[in-house]
Chains A and B, each alone.
Chain A
Amino acid sequence: MLMNDQDIIKLYWTRSEQAIAVTAEKYGKYCYSIAFQILNDHEDAMECVNDTYLRAWNSMPPNRPDSLSAYLGKITRNLARNRYKLERTKKRGGSQTALALEELEMCIAGGGDPADSMEMQALGGLINSFLFDQTERNRNIFLRRYWMLSPIKDIADFYGISESKVKSILFRMRKKLAKLLKDEEFY
């Protein structure tokens, strides 16, 4: 029986080293999956997951997340993305990140980057708003692709639908997002 999230967070707050073990037991595969999709390398993904545990250990306390899965997932994704950016100079190809970046190109049209964190925050808010307006399944498909960076085949298998259908849904959502970004003058 896996420990519930609030009990795990208590272990962090009481500085019990068991916190890492139970986190790994419950969320190890989940974090590894996120890291691997981004990095496409077992060793790097494992290191990233271990760094996630360390980051969680160092940040709880003071943090007490409402959702441990989201908290750990975001840490893993950020760590993996940072590592990916470093590794990219070595031209290590084949990851889902490269494919996802290619797909998202249709949503932007060059121009300047958001100048500061305020603009990045506004962009994040816009994406949240966009996702709120989607059906739950479409939103999850979008996030599996562009948040978890899951391969399209995995997404299709997960929902029991064809890969063509997943591609179709993503294509239409990217078009909507592109229009929204344009309307809001993000490009």
Chain B
Amino acid sequence: MNTETLLDAIGSVNDCFITALSEEEPVRRKPVRLSRIGIAAAACLCLVIGAIAYHAIKGEPAELLFSITAYAKGQDNMNPLGEILELSKPVPIDAFFLDDETAFFLFSYENRDPAAPNYSLIIDSTRSRDYRNYENIITGIMTEIGAQDNQTYVFYYPDSEQALPYRLHLSLDYPRENNALVRTAELCITQTNGQYYVELVTIEKSRIHYTDITSVTIKDNTSTYEIIVTSEKSEFGWNIDFHQ
């Protein structure tokens, strides 16, 4: 079978589908969709996420070890544009949406530390909640580094239950020279005139505990990455286009 045959077969679908299609009315985009999950409208929405930047870590080698990139939708609204975060420099970001309207912010993290093993963990360290009970909300992922240009993609889901401003600590933890090297950082997401901005606020070394492990598989499907996140209870995925 070829695609022409399939396209022709689709042409013969039930009339009721076509009738419903022709009678469907366009939907107006809501001006602020994030209000659905209770995180918009406020003047300042603070979110604290872990991030590591080489120049922000005292006593570390001068070479770039870590960077975290925040993504906005880009002009055509299809290909997220990434910008590496620097301390105290707000960067525009956008909320992305799943089918069920759940909003998330997209970050990626790159580890250039030659001493790092082939995995790392980024988690929300402020909440003691066991995220394994949340089938659709994952605030931390573990993945192999190096799957795609050394980028580890991080989906951050704002928690609608928590009072604003919303704060979250994120950490990156990996063993180094027989010692666990842990770094934490804060990201602050604010909203001005409907536009979200993210700023790297602080970054430091520390030891924290984490509770959740979730794996992510990134498959290269030409220009689209299929990202499958697997937790203990469920598996779900997205396909997202990135600029290479």
Q: Which A residues, 122 to 171, have Cβ-Cβ distances below 8 Å to chain B?
A: 123-124, 127-128, 131, 136, 139-140, 143-144, 146-148, 152-153, 156-165, 167-169, 171
Chain A nearest CB, measured from B71 CB (Å): 11
Give complex CA distance A152, B239 in Å.
15
Q: Is B32 located at the chain interface by the 8 A CB criterion?
A: no
Contact of A157 among B23, B26, B96 (CB under 8 A): B26
Name A's interface SS: helix
Give the interface segment out of B13-21, B137-145, B159-167, B186-194.
B13-21
Report the stretch among A7-15, A17-25, A47-55, A64-72 that lies at the interface.
A64-72
Q: Does B150 contact A (CB under 8 A)?
A: no
A46 within 8 A of B: no
A173→B15 CA distance, assembly (Å): 20
Q: Does A59 contact B (CB under 8 A)?
A: no
Given A101-B4, A113-B5, A136-B20, answer yes or no on A147-B26 (Cβ-Cβ < 8 Å).
no
Q: In the complex, which of the residues B6, B11, B23 contacts A77, with contact meaning CB atoms closer than 8 Å?
A: B11
Is the contact region of chain B dominated by helix, strand, or loop, or is it mixed?
Answer: mixed
A148 to B9, CA, bound (A): 13
Inter-chain contacts of B21 with A (CB < 8 A): 140, 143-144, 147-148
Interfacial chain B residues near A108, Cβ < 8 Å: 1-3, 6
Q: Which residues of B contact A113 (CB under 8 A)?
A: 1-2, 5
**Whole-angstrom CA separation of A143 from B12 in the bound complex:** 11
A112 touches B76 (CB 8 A): no
Across the interface, do A107 and B6 meet the contact criterion of CB distance under 8 Å? Answer: yes
Q: Do A127 and B10 touch (CB < 8 A)?
A: yes
